[in-house]
Amino acid sequence: MRSFASLASLKGRVALITGGAGHIGRAIAETYAELGAAIALLDKPGANTDDVARSLTDTYGVLTTVIAADLSDEAAVRKVPQRVVDACGRLDILVNNASLVGTDGLEGWTTPVEDQSIDTWRKAMEVNLTAPFLLVQQAIPALRASGKGSVINIGSIYGVLGPDWRIYEDVDFGTPAAYAASKGGLLQMTRWLATTLAPHVRVNAIVPGGVDRNTPNAFRKKYAARAPLGRMATEEDLKGAAAYLASDLSAYVTGQSLMVDGGWSAW
């Protein structure tokens, strides 16, 4: 029987992480690099992806490569998996982490539902749902050839549950319909791809709760009061789930959405 350390190891594997310069993307990249994987970081042009890649190489001594691409650009997205294979020799793990969020300066995003923009809705679907499907589709040959192929989609509690608007009183942010619909679609796509790509490629999802990142104190308190574990998430809370689903620790797990939400969905 293999040891736990052997099951958890990612040595010899290559992981592509979209949104790799962001908070969650970086935490996942650090996890995989610590476990021995080579890392391909994809983010939009202008992101600080080069700095993250240098840090990974300096800290963990792993091969890193950077890909700048707009996930709403179909032609660019189609080329990404082969670019990873060309740079790293293979592709074993695909993490669809990037998504449009409230910090992207979108018009008609966190506005009353009557004013939410259809153009912004379409862009959210392109980045949050269509691009992950296209990346998986184009990565299938490499993931199958890996023998250890694993796709991990990063969802949201709002792809599972409706928002509790009481905790958003007196704050100037929220979760629009486009975000919820795209994340809900991503979780259903996870199940569909899991049965379609089995037995050669596993497909699972991580469903985080709200992540505490410069969060207004009033919102933080309301959120914590509603969460059974009494706090918001941190990026570190996602590392264990990311390691589990990428490695042989979850070799018999596919089609699952792992809730990492402090019990939010258990009520």
Would you name the residues annotated as active-site residues? Answer: 179
Question: For the chain, how long is the longest CA-to-CA vector?
Answer: 58
Separation between Cα atoms, residue 55 and residue 29, nearest integer Å? 11
The count of other CB atoms within 10 Å of the CB of residue 257 is 18
Q: Interior CA angle at 245 toward 161 and 80, to 5°?
A: 90
Query: Which among 157, 11, 165 has a CA at the least distance from the CA of 92?
Result: 11
Q: What share of the chain is helix, strand, coil (3-state, %, to 5)?
A: 50, 15, 35
For residue 83, give the amino acid letter: R
Query: Which among 164, 175, 243 has a CA at the least distance from the CA of 206?
Result: 243
